[in-house]
């Protein structure tokens, strides 16, 4: 049986805590798993455009009865996926691809 370590990250599906072993990462609550913590964590959520959704896991500095979680997810701002330059405008490309 693998030894699990609790991380300072929350699950992208249910906001439960993410556990990590040598071979995989897993949510302690819903059981969703992946090869690495970033595959399970809410920090890794992407927009449909491929850009970063701007969510980050952080320690809860204001633990109280309404929000008892030790780790919470915070919005830090969307990072848009960089646009690829239009090769038709920069020489080459066009209708038939690279020349």
Q: Does 2 have pLDDT greater than 80?
A: no
Sole residue written with tokens 């798993």: 33
Q: Does 76 have pLDDT greater than 70?
A: yes
pLDDT at 80: 64
Helix (H) or strand (E) holding 37: helix 37-40
Please tell me the pTM assigned to this model.
0.71
pLDDT at 26: 96
Backbone angles phi, psi at 74, to 5 degrees: -120, 145
Give 26's contacts (C-beta < 8 A, 6+ positions apart): 4, 18, 19, 20, 32, 33, 34, 40
pLDDT at 94: 45
pLDDT at 48: 83
Number of domains in the chain: 1
Task: Tell me what the mean pLDDT of segment 53-69 comes to.
Answer: 93
Q: With pLDDT > 90 as the criterion, what percentage of the chain qualifies?
A: 62
Q: Is residue 83 part of a domain?
A: no
**Domain hosting residue 65, numbered range:** 5-75
Q: Does 16 have pLDDT greater than 70?
A: yes
């Amino acid at each position: 049986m693998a030894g699990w370590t609790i991380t300072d990250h929350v699950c992208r599906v249910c906001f439960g805590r993410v556990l990590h072993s040598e071979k995989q990462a897993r949510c302690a609550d819903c059981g969703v798993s992946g090869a690495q913590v970033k595959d399970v964590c809410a920090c890794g959520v992407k927009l449909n455009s491929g850009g970063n959704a701007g969510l980050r896991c952080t320690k809860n500095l204001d633990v109280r009865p309404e929000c008892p979680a030790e780790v919470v997810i915070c919005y830090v701002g969307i990072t848009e996926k960089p646009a690829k330059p239009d090769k038709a405008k920069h020489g080459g490309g066009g209708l038939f691809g690279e020349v």
